[in-house]
């Protein structure tokens, strides 16, 4: 059966980490995957997570199935975290399923759309997360792109984006990053969100919001401004979220797919169809990560601790953005990289050439995604000099 298979190309992000592990350069730096690292280069388990895990060990009474929706408490807590005290919640128009990570949420969203309208088109930003296209195509959707990042001027191509969104047929879906745009770090401001929300309502396409980095930009509420506004403006939408980054639960694989319906009856129907999509995919989501998150969000003390730890991560990345740009200047780089301090979340594009990316990897053991995306979260006070001197050399 498998004799015709060819080896697939390496994953643009995960493939890089495999190469990185095999590299014997003692100074090597992995700027590839979006994983938070502290200044010592570790990705520690958050203290609030450890505390919640201890609590669960003592108090969990059963490992019986939870059903395809996953934990009801987690689903409620995560919808409130994203939407805040939102009318859609009070009007009973939100239905959520726990999913295996944010990727699981995207796949469920894709399959829900495909089940509603087989082969429907979903529009994603150009550029977008390297896995978005693959996930949606695997779900049966046709994927197209709308302009988003202006590579030349290192800013948002808002005009291009709005012009493209205007033309999108009402029966299509449009994926929009809520915050900390992956890979560009370039977010919509509040005024731009207002324009996008108004236009989305006028045009009538189905908005799918991907919120994988809530709390990594400017704060939990500010980062959710766009998704909350969209939920207020539109009758229906889909939200895909992840707890990988903000709770540091990467390998526990916990995220959520929420739908908002026009009213409680339509939410019931869409939610029920979403559950059938889950059932034929993985039947039921893993429960451990959900249990940790719901334990934290149910405790004032653990929530306060989580806010502190999340802020520490956010602030460190912000500090590294500034330090990186300062050190580039200090090490003789004349090209202006100050745009990096204006961007949010883990990522920015360096905007350097493929040959320079290759040299960074081959000569200096510095691993950058082929698009020139770097994870600022991997920069530390003890590697920033080596990194910026190396960049100065390849430039
Ligand atoms: C990333 O963009 O680096 C992360 O979301 C990890 C992944 O799965 O690609």
Which of these, 159, 119, 153, lies nearest to 136 by C-alpha position? 119
- Which three-class secondary structure state does DSSP give residue 145? strand
Q: How confident is the model at residue 74 (pLDDT cuts 50, 70, 90)?
A: very high
The predicted structure's pLDDT at residue 332: 95
The predicted structure's pLDDT at residue 158: 98
Nearest CA to ligand 1 atom 5: 34
The predicted structure's pLDDT at residue 317: 98
The predicted structure's pLDDT at residue 116: 98
**Cα-to-centroid distance, 305 and ligand 1 (Å):** 26
Can 14-45+315-394 and 65-298 be said to share one CATH topology? Answer: no
Answer yes or no: 245 catalytic. Answer: yes
**Which H or E element spans position 350?**
none
Which of these, 123, 132, 133, 213, lies nearest to 170 by C-alpha position? 123
CB 310 within 8 A of CB 304: no
Q: Is the bond into 127 cis (omega within 30 degrees of 0)? A: yes
Stretch 211-222: mean pLDDT, rounded? 98
Which of these, 141, 140, 160, 142, lies nearest to 150 by C-alpha position? 160
Separation CA 34–CA 117 (nearest Å): 33
Answer yes or no: 117 catalytic. Answer: no
**Which atom of ligand 1 is found nearest the CA of 375?**
3
The predicted structure's pLDDT at residue 227: 98
**Cα-to-centroid distance, 318 and ligand 1 (Å):** 19
Stretch 271-283: mean pLDDT, rounded? 98
219 φ/ψ sector (left φ>0, alpha ψ -120 to 50, else beta): left
Q: How confident is the model at residue 354 (pLDDT cuts 50, 70, 90)?
A: very high
What lies within 8 Å, CB to CB, of 331 at 6+ separation is: 385, 388, 389, 391, 392
Answer yes or no: 129 catalytic. Answer: yes
Residues in a beta bridge with 374:
348
Q: Which of 14, 33, 346 to mutate to test the pocket of ligand 1 (most atoms within 8 A of CB)?
A: 33
CB 289 within 8 A of CB 278: no
Catalytic residue selected from 37, 123, 129, 306: 129
pLDDT tens digits, residue range 360-393?
Answer: 999 999 999 999 999 999 999 999 999 999 999 9
pTM for the model: 0.97
The predicted structure's pLDDT at residue 18: 92
pLDDT tens digits, residue range 291-348?
Answer: 999 999 999 999 999 999 999 999 999 999 999 999 999 999 999 999 999 999 999 9
**Cα-to-centroid distance, 365 and ligand 1 (Å):** 20
Q: How confident is the model at residue 150 (pLDDT cuts 50, 70, 90)?
A: very high
Separation CA 227–CA 229 (nearest Å): 5
**Cα-to-centroid distance, 14 and ligand 1 (Å):** 8
The predicted structure's pLDDT at residue 189: 98
CA dihedral sign, ordered 247, 281, 270, 211: positive
User: Which residues sit with their C-beta closer than 6 Å to ligand 1?
Assistant: 13, 33-34, 129, 131, 182
Tracing tokens 């169809």 back to the chain, one arrives at: 273
Q: How confident is the model at residue 57 (pLDDT cuts 50, 70, 90)?
A: very high
The predicted structure's pLDDT at residue 216: 98
Separation CA 230–CA 236 (nearest Å): 9
Q: CATH fold of 65-298, please?
A: 3.40.640
DSSP 256-299: EEEEE-SSHHHHHHHHHHHHHHHHHHTSS--SHHHHHHHHHHT-
pLDDT tens digits, residue range 91-100?
Answer: 999 999 999 9
What lies within 8 Å, CB to CB, of 390 at 6+ separation is: 360, 363, 364, 366
Max CA separation in the chain (angstroms):
62
Tracing tokens 């108004």 back to the chain, one arrives at: 198
CB 182 within 8 A of CB 124: no
Q: How confident is the model at residue 90 (pLDDT cuts 50, 70, 90)?
A: very high
CB 55 within 8 A of CB 295: yes
The predicted structure's pLDDT at residue 365: 98
pLDDT tens digits, residue range 17-50?
Answer: 999 999 999 999 999 999 999 999 999 999 999 9
Per domain, the residue ranges of the chain are 14-45+315-394, 65-298
73 φ/ψ sector (left φ>0, alpha ψ -120 to 50, else beta): alpha
Q: CATH fold of 14-45+315-394, please?
A: 3.90.1150
Q: How confident is the model at residue 284 (pLDDT cuts 50, 70, 90)?
A: very high
């Amino acid at each position: 059966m498998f004799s015709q298979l060819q080896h697939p190309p390496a994953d643009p992000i995960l493939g890089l980490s495999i190469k990185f592990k095999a590299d014997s350069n003692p100074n090597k730096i992995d700027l590839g995957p979006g994983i938070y690292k502290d200044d010592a280069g570790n990705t520690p388990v958050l203290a609030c997570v450890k505390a919640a895990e201890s609590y669960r060990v003592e108090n969990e009474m059963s490992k019986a199935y939870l059903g395809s929706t996953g934990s009801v408490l987690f689903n409620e807590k995560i919808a409130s975290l994203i939407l805040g005290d939102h009318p859609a919640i009070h009007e009973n128009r939100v239905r959520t399923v726990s999913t295996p990570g944010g990727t699981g949420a995207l796949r469920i969203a894709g399959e829900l759309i495909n089940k509603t309208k087989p082969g429907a088109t979903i529009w994603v930003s150009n550029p977008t997360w390297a896995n978005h296209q693959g996930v949606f195509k695997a779900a049966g959707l046709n994927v197209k792109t709308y302009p988003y990042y202006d590579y030349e001027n290192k800013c948002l191509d808002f005009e291009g984006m709005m012009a493209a969104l205007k033309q999108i047929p009402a029966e299509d879906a449009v994926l929009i990053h809520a915050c900390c745009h992956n890979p560009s770090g370039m977010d919509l401001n509040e005024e731009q969100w207002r324009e996008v929300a108004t236009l989305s309502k006028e045009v009538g396409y189905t908005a799918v919001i991907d919120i994988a980095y809530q709390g990594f930009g400017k704060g939990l509420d500010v980062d959710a401004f766009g998704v909350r506004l969209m939920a207020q403006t539109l009758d229906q939408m889909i939200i895909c979220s992840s707890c990988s980054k903000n709770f540091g639960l990467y390998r526990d694989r916990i995220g959520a797919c929420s739908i908002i319906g026009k009213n409680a009856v339509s939410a019931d129907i869409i939610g029920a169809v979403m559950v059938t999509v889950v059932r034929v995919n993985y039947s039921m989501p893993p429960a451990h990560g959900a249990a940790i998150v719901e334990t934290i969000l149910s405790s004032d003390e653990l929530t306060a601790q989580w806010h502190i730890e999340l802020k520490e991560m956010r602030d460190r990345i912000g500090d590294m953005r500034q330090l990186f740009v300062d050190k580039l200047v200090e090490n003789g780089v004349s090209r202006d990289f100050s745009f990096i301090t204006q961007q949010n979340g883990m990522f920015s594009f360096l905007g350097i050439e493929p040959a320079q990316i290759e040299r960074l990897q081959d000569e200096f053991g510095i691993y950058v995604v082929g698009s020139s995306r770097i994870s600022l979260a991997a920069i530390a006070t003890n590697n920033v000099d080596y990194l910026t001197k190396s960049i100065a050399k390849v430039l």
